[in-house]
Amino acid sequence: MKKRLLSLVFLFAFIFSFSQTIEIVGKGVVGETNSNIALTNIGEIEKVEVGAIYKALFDDPLPSPNAVTFNDADESPFSLFDPLNYDYSTLNNFPIGLFSATFNTADAGGVNAVINADHVESFYAFVYRQQDPSQTFKSFRNSETVFFFRNGIDNPYVFDVPIDVASDSRNIVVHIPVSELDLTIRKVVINITAGPVSLNIEESFPNLGESFFLGSYPLNGVPGDVNNVSISVYSPDPADGPLSNGDSFFVSGVVVDVDKVMDNGDCGECDGQITSLDLKYLGNETDATIKVYQGKVNDDDLFATFTGVNNGDVFSFVGPKKDNKMGSKIFLTVNDGNPIEIHTSCSQDIYAGMEIADTYLIVAGMSHNGGPLCPDTPPGDDDDDDGNDDDDDDGN
């Protein structure tokens, strides 16, 4: 099933596209002719960039450009072959390269690699997802693929990943995909630096099938003024000292997840009625139709309809009344089933991150006087502080 935008059947309904998160998935595929990578939460996916690493023996010819192709249920994107350089290798006669392609849609069946060549080490994907406002982090990526062979401690490659600054310290997680890290006890030496915070790691074994490794490394308390993360990588040179086998491997870029920091002025309590909501569907219906009613569940009060909704999809809408207000309450139905009420007058708690009847999650929202909803509201705080009675359905 292709990723689809939710169909909107009313003027007041619309969809937000948020800043992204990037997930890395992959596996070793040595000796395989076909391989599949499963994808989850299809409705969130904006694109999928796939790659397959090739490395043959000394003096073997390079493969044909179509030796590895990619497809899913309804898309076969053009595959590129890039013979990589040897800048961080002491040898230059390995036949090496990267097959790559980009999927602009996503299917429940995942993405496939058809492999018509020996010496393909790995198959992996960078999955770009829409980020809803409830997501607690944002992803940044350096996409360069680098081949390493005994470049040594004095000649590391540095992946620089620019990140956003923040008003306070935050935590980050660095994700590093490595191909050709097999059971010959090869060593990858990694040094991560984010301002005054650093981490040194050595890896030697695959963890996702033969010949593929995906490492995730947290660094806590990175100062808010840090705007770059540096990841230094090298393959040990025997001249460096008595280290483990300094053999070849590939690093296919780096992804850095950075926790968001909420500035105090960025959000507020509900005040003056809700004017917009972004809801994530938590139910199990497939290709559901969700209808939104103001005040009462009847045709005259229907103001937004969404079709093709699946678990994890986010849909967004504004109120139908003056200043986009929603009145005292709204009702939502799934496939014309029992309605679920959301109180929108601000006289009851409503906040980002709030679950509604195990069916919806409020990922973001706006109130008329309070602006964006904060992620939490103190329990029992039912004072909307606007001096008006918001419980009439006239939206005044």
What's residue 255's pLDDT?
97
pLDDT at 391: 44
How many C-beta atoms surround the C-beta of residue 61 within 10 A? 7
pLDDT of residue 262: 58
pTM: 0.66
Q: Name the strands in the sheet holding 111-115, side by side, starting at the edge strand that comes first in the sequence.
A: 34-37, 111-115, 68-71
- Residue 58 has a pLDDT of 83
The SS3 assignment for 16 reads coil
Instruction: Provide the pLDDT for residue 162.
Output: 94
- What pLDDT score does 99 carry? 98
Q: HSE-up of 34 (CA within 13 Å, CB side)? A: 4
- Closest by Cα among 229, 237, 297, 295 to 258: 229
Which pLDDT does position 233 carry in this prediction? 98
Q: What is the C-alpha separation between 386 and 176, in angstroms, rounded?
A: 50
Residue 134: per-residue pLDDT:
58
Domain extents in the chain:
7-259, 264-372
- 184: DSSP letter: T
How many Cβ atoms from other residues are within 10 Å of residue 74's Cβ?
A: 10
- Gap between the Cα atoms of 323 and 395, Å rounded: 8
Q: What is the DSSP string of 266-281?
A: G-B---S-EEEEEEEE
Local structure of residue 217 (DSSP, 8 states): E
The tens-digit pLDDT sequence of the chain (396 residues) is: 333 333 333 222 323 333 489 999 999 999 999 999 999 988 889 999 999 999 998 878 889 999 999 999 999 999 999 999 999 998 888 899 999 999 998 999 999 999 999 999 999 999 999 866 557 788 999 999 999 999 999 999 999 999 988 878 999 999 999 999 887 778 999 999 999 999 999 999 999 998 999 999 999 999 989 999 999 999 998 877 765 567 899 999 999 999 977 554 568 889 999 999 989 999 999 999 999 999 999 999 999 999 889 988 888 898 999 888 999 999 999 999 999 999 999 999 999 889 999 999 998 888 988 888 887 644 344 444 443 444 444 444
pLDDT of residue 245: 65
